[in-house]
Amino acid sequence: MAQAALKNTSIEEFEKKQEWWWAAEKRRSSRLDYLRKAIWKKGAIGGLYAPGVKTDLEQAVLTTNMARSLENAPDPYVVKSAKIFAHVLDNKTIFITDHAQLVGYTGSLPHTMNWNPSIASILNAEVFNDPTSIPDPVDKNQAVIQDIVGYWAGKSDLDKMMPVFDMEDMMKMLSGSIGWGVPLARGGYSNKDYEYLMTGKRAFQEILEEIDKKIDEADELVHTPVANKEIALMYDKLNNWEAMKICLEAGIRIAKRYARLARIIAENFEEDPKRKEELLKIAAACERVPAHPPRTLQESFQYDIFIQMMSRTEAIEGAWPCRPDYYHGPYYDKDVNIDKTLTPEEALDLVGEFLIRAAEVCQFKPKFAREGLQGIDGTWVWTMGGVDANGRDACNDLTIAFMQAARLVRVANPTFAFRWHPHVQDKVMREVFECIRHGLGYPSIRHDPILIANAMHWHGHPIEEARLWVHQACMSPNPPTKHGYQPMRMANATANCAKIIEYVFTSGFDKIVNMQVGAETPDVTTFKDFEEFFAAWVTQMKTIFSILVRSVNRARVLAPTLTPRPFLSAISERSVESGLDTLDPSIARGNAWITAFTWVENADSLAAVKKLVFEEKKYTMAELKEALDKNWEGYEEMRLDFVKNAPKWGNDDDYVDSIMLRCLDECAKFSKEIKCPCGNNWPILPENVSGNIHYANIVGALPNGRRLGDALYDGGISPGPGLDKNGPTAVLKSCGKIDHITQGRAFLLNQRLSPTQLAGEKGYQLWRAYMRTWADLGLDHVQFNMVDDSTLRAAQKDPEKYQEVIVRVAGYSAHFVDISRKTQDNIIQRTVQGLG
C-alpha cells in the first residue's frame, strides 16, 4: 500500500474493511512498528528460503574447531559436548537491535539461520546443496562448508545412532513413506522443567550451588572405604554434573557479554538520554538473568529468551513449548499493578517485543521439514489460560496483554493455544475471540478438563501436574514438571496413516518407494467380508506404528550415552538431583505419542469399501484393486461413485462415524500394548501440519476416490475439503462422537469461518453459543480460519498487496503468500462453513 493511502485511512476505516493488518500497523507503538519490520522473514516458501536469508556459519565453524581441538582430549563425551556448547556461547557474535529492550538471537546476525553441524550429517549435506542460502562470498564459504560437512560425516549424532538401530526398520523409515524425520535426541521438540526453572526460586547460579553440593556428596561417597555398583556408576554422574556446570557457567557468561555490550553502547555511543537509560536497563537485566531469578517482567522475558537461545544452540528445536502468561504473569502483576513501575502500554511494548524476538528465531531445516512447515520455522504453539495446580482459573492480566499484543504485531509464529475451562471469565474469552476475528488464525481452543483427564488416563500424570500442562509441539499436552516433562519428542513417531489403507490393497508393498514396508497381509481379493478386510487394516496399522515406535524407543535408550543433552539436563530438577542425563528413561514418567498424519482417509476409504464392495456389491474387490493400481485412470465414473456415493466423515452420519470410532478403538488398544522405555503408553494424535501436501506424491490412489498427487485432507479429524456437506454443527457432532479422553492423545479440528457475520456483539454471541456446544460435546481442540475466499483469491493474484494475510494451516498459522500454491488452493477449497 502506498504510504499516502496508509496515512490517510483511519484505523476505524481499516477495521471496518477488515483490513486488520493495516489497522494493526497504525495502532501499534512506533517502537513495535520498528521492531516488527526489523526482523527477517525466515519461514520457507514452498520449501525454499527467502532471498537474503543465509545459513549462519559461525556456530558451525566454532563447533567444528572446538571438536577438532578436543579430539585427543581425555574428556568423556558429555564433557566434550558441554565444552563445545560453552565455546560457541563464549565466542558467538552478539548484537542489540535499535529500540529493542530484549536481546539474544540464535544466529550471529538477524538474517542468519542457525546451523549446528554435529547433529545430522544428512542435514549438513542439505546446507551444502542449498546454494541460495549459502552466505557471500559463496565460493569461499562453500569451501568452509565442505570442510565442516566432511569433518562431521560419520561423527554426527545420526551417524553414531545408525549402526545401532535395526537396519530394516531404519530403511523403511528413511524411505520417507511412513514416517517423518529421524529419531534424535537433539532434533525434535524439547519441553522444559518450567516448575523447576521459572517459579522464581532459582536460576543458573542457584542450580550451580545445588550441583556443587551434589558433587561434594558424591566425592565424599566415592572416597569412603566401601565399593559397590552405586559408586561404580557415580563417576558417570560426576561427569554429567561437570558438563551441566560448564553449560550453566557459559550461559551466565554470555548474558554478561550482552550486559557489557549494552553498557559500552550506552556509555560511549548513545546520545539519546532515554535510549541510554533503556540500554542500561538491558545491561542490568543481563547481569541479573540467567544467573539469578528475574525481578521484573523485562528480566523474566529476558530469562526465557536466553534459555531458548541456549537450548537452540544445543539442539535443533522444532517447537517452543511454554506458558508465558502463567510463568511471567506474576512479574506483570508486580510491575504494572503493584509497584506501578510499568504502565500497561509500556508492558504491552515488552509483550509485543517478546513475540517479535520469538518470531525471528530460525534454524536451518531439511527440505522435508520445510515442506511440512510451510511458511514458518517450527510449530511454536504457546500455551495460554488454563488452570493452576489446584484447578483454579490461571488467566491473568498478562493473558489479556498477550492477546492484545498479538493483534498489534501479527506474527505467524509463535501462535497461541488457549486452554478453555468453565471458569474462564467473559472478558478473557472476548480477547481470545478478537484475535480469531482479526484473522490471526489463533488462538486455537483446547478443552482443559478433557485434556487433564486425558493426561492422567494415558500417561498417569498426577492431577496436580496434569493441570500444569503446556503444548510440547502443536497439539500435545505435557506437564513441565520434574518427572512429567518430556525432554525430547522425536519427530519420526509421525505416521503417514494413509499408507495403512493403501497397504491393505498392496499386501504391504509400497509402490512409491518400491519396497516391502507394511505387513504381508493376504491378497485383498481373497477377503470374503468387511471383517476380514478390516482385520488386514488393523495388521497394517500395528505394523506401521511399531516400526516407528521401535526406532524412537531405541534412540531414547541410547541417547543418554551417545547423544547427551548437558544443557537441558542442567535446567532439569531430575538430572540435577540424580546426576543422570535428562533423556534417561528411568527418571521420566513418559509422555510419548504417535502423531497420526493423513488419518481421516482411512475412515472414508473403509466406509466406501464396506458400502460399495461388500454391501451393495456394485464393484468387486478385483475391480477396485485394478482401479487403484491404475490410479483411477480409465475409471473416472467409478471414482466419482466412491467420492459421492459413499458416506464421508464429518456429516454426522453414523455409518462412517462408527467406522472412525472402530479404527480409533483399535489404535487405543494397541497404544497400551506398545510401551516407551519409561514404561508408558503410545496414544495416537491425529493432526497434519502441512503433511497433507508433503505426502501428496507419496500416497497412492485410495478408495475414497483420491488419486496419487491429490492433496490429502488437511488433517487431524477435519473432514475432507468440500466433503462436509451438512455444515459446522454436523462436523462438531461427528467429532464429538470420539471420546477425546480415551481414544487418543488429542484430535485436531480445523473450522473455517466466514468473517462477515462474526462482526460485533452478535458475532461474539454466536461464537460463544457454538463454543459452549463444542465444550459440551467434549472435543479437545478447535482452531479457526477466518479469512474469506475473495481475500485469498486476491492474495493469490496479487501477493505483494497481501503480505500480511495469515491463514491457519493445519497445526499452525502462516502468512498466506508464504505457502505453496498447492496449499493455498487446498485452503480455499475447504468448505466455508459460514459460521454466521
Partner 1 sequence: MENQPLITEIQRFSVNDGPGIRTLVFLKGCPMRCSWCHNPETQKTYPEVYWKKRLCVQCGACLEPCPRDAINPPIPIKLAQEEGSSYQKIIRDRCDRCMKCVNACRYDALAVVGKRMSIDEILTEVEKDRPFYDNSGGGLTLSGGEPTMHAEFSTALLAAAKERGLHTCLDTNGFCSWETLEKVVKHADIVLFDLKHMDSAAHEQETGVKNDRILKNLWRLSKTGAEIWVRIPVVPGFNDTLEFHEAAARFLAGLPGKISRVDLLPFHNWCQDKYGWLGIDWKFKETEALEPALLEIPAEVYRKEGLPTTIGGSGFEAAEAMGA
Task: Return the number of the residue (131 or 760) whose C-beta is nearest partner 1.
Answer: 760
Distance CA 367, CA 424 (A): 41
Give the Å distances, CA to CA, from 532 to 174, 318, 630. 31, 40, 24
Q: How far is the CB of 646 from partner 1 (least distance, A)?
A: 14
Task: Return the number of the residue (518 or 728) whose C-beta is nearest partner 1.
Answer: 728
Q: How far is the CB of 701 from partner 1 (least distance, A)?
A: 19
Q: Which residue has the cell 537396519?
A: 167
Distance CA 728, CA 748 (A): 15
Task: Return the number of the residue (52 or 834) whose C-beta is nearest partner 1.
Answer: 834
Q: Which residues contact 340 (CB under 8 A, 6 or more apart)?
A: none
Task: Return the number of the residue (276 or 733) whose C-beta is nearest partner 1.
Answer: 733
**Whole-angstrom Cα Rg for the chain:** 26
Distance CA 446, CA 385 (A): 10
Residue 293 in contact with residue 287, Cβ under 8 Å? no
Q: How far is the CB of 776 from partner 1 (least distance, A)?
A: 5
DSSP 226: -
Distance CA 389, CA 386 (A): 10
Residue 472 CB neighbours (<10 A): 27
- What cell does 509 get? 508393498
Residue 482 in contact with residue 588, Cβ under 8 Å? no
> 386 in helix, strand or coil?
coil
Q: How far is the CB of 641 from partner 1 (least distance, A)?
A: 8
Residue 288 in contact with residue 299, Cβ under 8 Å? yes
Residue 478 in contact with residue 467, Cβ under 8 Å? no
Residue 703 in contact with residue 642, Cβ under 8 Å? yes
Q: How far is the CB of 829 from partner 1 (least distance, A)?
A: 15
Task: Return the number of the residue (411 or 608) whose C-beta is nearest partner 1.
Answer: 608
Distance CA 91, CA 94 (A): 9
- Phi, psi for residue 433 in degrees, rounded to 5: -60, -40
At 707, which amino acid appears?
R
Give the Å distances, CA to CA, from 185 to 23, 86, 577. 43, 19, 21
Distance CA 359, CA 352 (A): 11
Sign of the dihedral defined by the CA atoms of residues 391, 355, 781, 546, in that order: negative
Q: How far is the CB of 384 from partner 1 (least distance, A)?
A: 23
Using CB under 8 A, list all residues that contact partner 1.
637, 640-641, 644, 652, 726-730, 733, 736, 757, 760-763, 765-766, 769-770, 772-773, 776-777, 834-836
Region for 706 from its dihedrals, namely left if φ exceeds 0, alpha if ψ lies in -120 to 50, beta otherwise: beta
CA 387 from centre of chain:
22
Task: Return the number of the residue (242 or 825) whose C-beta is nearest partner 1.
Answer: 825
Task: Return the number of the residue (98 or 637) whose C-beta is nearest partner 1.
Answer: 637
Of 680, 665, 474, residue with least CA distance to 592: 680
Q: How far is the CB of 824 from partner 1 (least distance, A)?
A: 21
Q: How far is the CB of 826 from partner 1 (least distance, A)?
A: 20
Q: How far is the CB of 739 from partner 1 (least distance, A)?
A: 16
Of 374, 378, 384, residue with least CA distance to 406: 384
Q: Which residue has the cell 503410545?
A: 682
Task: Return the number of the residue (282 or 723) whose C-beta is nearest partner 1.
Answer: 723
Task: Return the number of the residue (206 or 776) whose C-beta is nearest partner 1.
Answer: 776
Q: How far is the CB of 696 from partner 1 (least distance, A)?
A: 24
Task: Return the number of the residue (15 or 333) whose C-beta is nearest partner 1.
Answer: 15
Q: How far is the CB of 449 from partner 1 (least distance, A)?
A: 17
Q: How far is the CB of 836 from partner 1 (least distance, A)?
A: 6
- DSSP for 464-518? HHHTT-EESSSS-EE--STTT--S-EETT-EEETHHHHHHHHHTTEETTTTEE-S
Task: Return the number of the residue (144 or 730) whose C-beta is nearest partner 1.
Answer: 730
Task: Return the number of the residue (143 or 769) whose C-beta is nearest partner 1.
Answer: 769
Task: Return the number of the residue (200 or 834) whose C-beta is nearest partner 1.
Answer: 834
Q: How far is the CB of 208 from partner 1 (least distance, A)?
A: 54
